[in-house]
Amino acid sequence: MDEPNISISSGLLENIELAVNIIGIETELKKELNHFKDEKCVPFRVVKRLHEFLSASGTNIYLHELIQGCDVCLPTVELASRDPELEARCKRLRAQQENREYKKMVREVDKKDRDYFAPGKDLKEMNRQMVSVFNFIVTVGGAFAFGYKGVEYSFHGDTFAFQLIVGLSLATVVFFADLYFLLKENS
């Protein structure tokens, strides 16, 4: 991995020029600083060596003060070109996927696949609904009859009002239960 580079700010440039003019600077460091003085970016290792030299020479400057106003210079990313065979395969797969999505969208619109008048299907549906309604009426009526006659056989005497209340109560409970299942089945 490449070493990190930072941009040269005016404060960093001043400190580079200060270090170049100090007597006793290493020739290698002086050469590096002169080389990077005219560049836009400088490697961080050079800035760190500059900081160490300035600290050793008596200049009281911290590293964060030295790089204040600098930005990180990011290397440009070189994108590798894609393999032509892979590109052709991706293009073919995209076309297949788009074709599948199109067929899925127009499946219900195609007139030859859809029959508008199907007497057998309509009669079957109507028959199923009629059976459901008949079953509904018989079930509610049976519940009423069970409650009405159950009270008559259980208690002796004049119990017409009580028979009616129990029969209607049971019929109401069965009505709502049957209505729930009928709606759940048809939705």
The mean pLDDT of the chain is 84
In a domain, 177, yes or no: yes
**Which residues in 148-187 are b (16+ Cβ under 10 Å) and which e?**
beebeeeeeeeeeeebeebbeebbeebbeebeeebeeeee
pTM above 0.85, yes or no: no
Each residue's pLDDT tens digit, 23-48: 777 778 777 877 777 778 888 888 88
Check if the beta carbon of residue 145 is closer than 8 Å to that of residue 129: no
Residue 41 lies in a domain: yes
Note whether 66 and 126 are same-domain residues: no
> Looking at 73, 105, 132, which one is the last position of a domain?
73
In a domain, 162, yes or no: yes
Let me know if residue 125 belongs to a domain.
yes
Domain end (from 38, 58, 73): 73
pLDDT digits (tens, 9 = 90+) for 110-146: 565 555 667 777 788 888 889 988 999 999 999 999 9
Are 68 and 125 found together in one domain?
A: no
Query: Residue 89 falls within a domain, yes or no?
Result: no
Q: 9 to each of 2, 68, 81, 170, how far by Cα in Å?
A: 21, 8, 36, 90
Q: Is residue 100 part of a domain?
A: no
Q: Residue 102 domain-assigned?
A: no
Does residue 126 share a domain with residue 69? no
Question: Residue 29's domain spans which residues?
Answer: 5-73
Q: How far apart are CA 35 and CA 10, in angstroms?
A: 16
Q: How many domains does the structure of the chain reveal?
A: 2
In a domain, 60, yes or no: yes
